[in-house]
Structure formats: C-alpha cells, structure tokens
Structure 1
C-alpha cells in the first residue's frame, strides 16, 4: 500500500509439547532453516533464531500484512508436519499450544539478538520456565502461572 511504512520487531518463543526435549542437536539447524524459509515465504524476515531441545526463540522483522497468530500457527504446523514426515524424532513431534511474542525497538535489536544467540550458555544457568517468567515480569506482562508452558512430562 502506498505511503505505508512500518518497523516492527517481534521476539517469538514457543515450546515443544509438554516441553519434552525432542529437538535433537543433529537436526536442530535444519529445523531453524525450515522455520526461516516458512517465515521468509510469508514476507517477513528472521533476524535471529536459536533455542534448546524443548523450545525456540525467533526475532522477526515483521510486516503488518498478516496476523502474528497466523504466522506462528503456520510455522508451528508446517514444521511439526515436516519433522514427522522426515522422521527426525523418535516419537510423534508436536509444538505446545500457545507462544510468547514481545515487541522491541530497533535500538533493542543487538541486545535481543545476543540474548537469542546465547541460549545454550544461558540455559546452563537458568531453566526455561525461570527465563520465560523473567521475560514476562521484566516487560510488565501480567500472567497466570497455570497458563505458562507446561512442565516436561
């Protein structure tokens, strides 16, 4: 649309079903590449991606031509279908319902990128639920703990 400009940066976090450690190191990079392709095909840009065996963080340059919920749903549905079709996981793979999405200004991008890129080091000291609750609290997001990502089964 003419004369329409936007600069939207969104940090998205989603977890495996029941937060089971299903994302194996031997194929996690392929998963990240697959997620990047899905997001790029929808007209958005992935600025950073990383995670752990039970969750993924993405930093997006988001275009306002699509609902964020639709993009995340497509990324999760397509990637879980791909993982299962490729038989990358020893059991049926699924993402947990829900996600976190946090907006940032351009000046925050280096800090958020560094945060995402250092997930493996960070999680040697801090667990996922503690990390996630800290993100919510530091951004003044009210939450009910019973709706936070489920504990591993």
Structure 2
C-alpha cells in the first residue's frame, strides 16, 4: 500500500522545527574584476559546498561567470544567513587567493577577492500574494 502523499525532500525537520528555507546568493568580485576562469569556479564550488556542509546547509546549485557567482542554498533556521555568507566569502577568498596566486591580481583588488556587498533573496514556496491571502482568510474565533 502506497502512502497518500509523497514526502517533500526539501522540507526538513529538526527537534522543534519543520523548515524549508532557500536563499539565492550572488557574490561579486572586488571592482567586478574578471578574476575567475572555469577551473577557479569549479574549485570555488567545492570550497563553498564544504562550508555549507559545515553549517548543516546544502549548496543546491552553483554557477558563475568571470566576475560573479550565484548560489542556491538550503539552510536551517538556526543559522543566520549573514553568518553563512561571511563564512562562504571569507573561506573561499582565502583559499582561492592561496591556490591561484598567479591568477589573482592582489594589487588590483587591494587584497580583497569579493566585494563587501552581496545579494540575498528568499526563494521557493508559494508567491507572496498567495501567502498574504491565506493568512487573511484565517478564521478568528468569535
């Protein structure tokens, strides 16, 4: 006998929480310098995947171009997204600068690999308007 519903693999459970949190992150290289090639992007993905694992998060998707990267991260609610981002950027910058010293022009980037800013957007689930309408339709007790 098959179950009435199929469990959603994106919905995770903790001891006191059920969650499905995804963030789309974009990191840009300092001064948008075209610092990365395919080999560096591949290594960057490996580094960021390991950092996510250390935070009990999952790097669901990764890609980029010479001057920026896109990440889709599935993360637990106990992790502040800003802390995860700081670790992703810090660890990857340090390792990429060390491993690809000849390709990363330190002087042109003033010792930094990533721009200090980043984009973070929440993704997944129903559209905002649907959630608003659902909440509005809740029946208050008299």
- Fold-level similarity (TM above 0.5): yes
Residue 89 (structure 2) aligned to one of 56, 76, 85: 76
> Could you say what secondary structure the match of 2:69 adopts?
strand
In structure 1, distance between residues paired with 2:42 and 2:114? 17
- Cα deviations across residues 42-88 of structure 1 (Å, max 9, x unaligned)? 11011100010100100011111111011001110111110111134
- Cα deviations across residues 64-116 of structure 1 (Å, max 9, x unaligned)? 111101100111011111011113433125100111111112479xxxxxxxx
In structure 2, distance between residues paired with 1:29 and 1:87? 12
Shift of 1:39: 1.1
Residue 90 (structure 1) aligned to one of 104, 122, 125: 104
**Residues matched between the structures, number:** 109
2:29 touches 2:35 (CA, 8 Å); kept in 1?
yes
Root-mean-square deviation over aligned CA pairs: 2.0
Q: How does 1:30-69 map to 2 (within 5 A)?
A: 30-69=43-82
Farther-moved stretch of structure 1 (18-27 vs 73-82): 18-27
In structure 1, distance between residues paired with 2:55 and 2:47? 13
* Ranges in structure 2 where 5+ consecutive residues have no aligned partner: 1-13, 107-111, 129-142
Q: Scaled by the length of structure 1, what TM-score is found?
A: 0.65
| Bigger Rg, which one | 2
Higher strand content, 1 or 2:
2
Q: Scaled by the length of structure 2, what TM-score is found?
A: 0.70
Q: How does 1:114-133 map to 2 (within 5 A)?
A: none
* Ranges in structure 1 where 5+ consecutive residues have no aligned partner: 109-138, 140-153
